[in-house]
Chain A
Amino acid sequence: MYIQKLKVRPKKNPPVNLCAPELASLLACWAASGDHGSTKECMSTSQALYDCMRTVPYKGKQHRPTINYHLARLGKNLKS
């Protein structure tokens, strides 16, 4: 079997979501209480988000998947 141009449509990189659960809980707290200043009900939730953002490492720009490079390189090794 010979495929002249062996390539796939790879999945895109997943989005960078830092502190997703803390953010979700804070937004839910704001929606429920209306305490947008985070002074009364949402104080501890907002502090949790701030602590998370202070410590979690930033991922930076993700490299695109290199599957097609490898397929092009190894395509000639396919048994016909």
Chain B
Amino acid sequence: MVSYFTLDGAGEGAVNFQKEISNMMHGFGDNPNPNAATVVLVESIVLQQLRNMLQDAWHWAQMRGVKVITNYEVIFLMRKNKMKLKRLFDYQKKLDSIEKKQFVINNAEEGVMSGVLEEESDPPSKKRRNHTDIIKDLDEQDEVLHIKFDVIDYLRKVRAAKISEIMSFEKYEAYHKARCSSFRSTGSGINKNFAKLEKWINSGKEYKLMQSALEVLSFLAYETVADLVDAVFLIRQDAKKKSGDPFSKFEGGSFCNPASLSNAVYIKSGFEGVSAITVAEIREVIRRFYTPTVGMNGLFSRNISSDISSKYIAI
């Protein structure tokens, strides 16, 4: 296929996220060294999805009569998926609290601590994020706000913390680095920006994008990679099924928490035991996502309606 891990030194416009995506895939459960061809394929899929979203957002922006793509248009694309809206909601809350803490740390010497700790004031150098306001706007029946606190999720977080305590140092280093990958450029504190992301999806500068829109797009890109890896593990379970034995699909146990497999029923040795995701598996995942027998193109309809092209993996 196309170029593999190109180091960015001499490439003309060779912006790629292959290292980040490779780390992300490991974070989601793939082998610590994912297959290079697979990473290239995943990168091209994410790029294509983001560009389609951009085009749709531009369409909505024109309908509203604005010249710049803001985060309103991108969140509008996600309006039907309440779980993702809720996650974006929590994401913003988290980011806000992190920024507030950093602002406090940065300005601690100037003695403005007491003033900043009030709820309403924000770091003055940054424009206020308004994803939560937009979500509240779009959510007419308050479904997003009513999604309750998830006990099971909380217990899982506790378990994850416990498991990372028993990992050795090198494994933890790699694991931690994988967990920290994202589509944002590295920067310090408040300087985190999306320059690389913007150059990647909007290299011809055809659309004007706001920073808030780029933030939501980076969130969606992350979700796309996550959904792809998740779907691959579902397919692997399907492949392992044997008739008559409903627990046979769990053999190998590569989908679930590797540290919980320490009872000797399933042979495993942590993340290194997972075989790398292949190109064929990703192709099968894409085939199933875009199969012509569901939705508006499903039973009894004859012409392929346009909603196949606007189906997004992450939304």
Partners in one complex: no
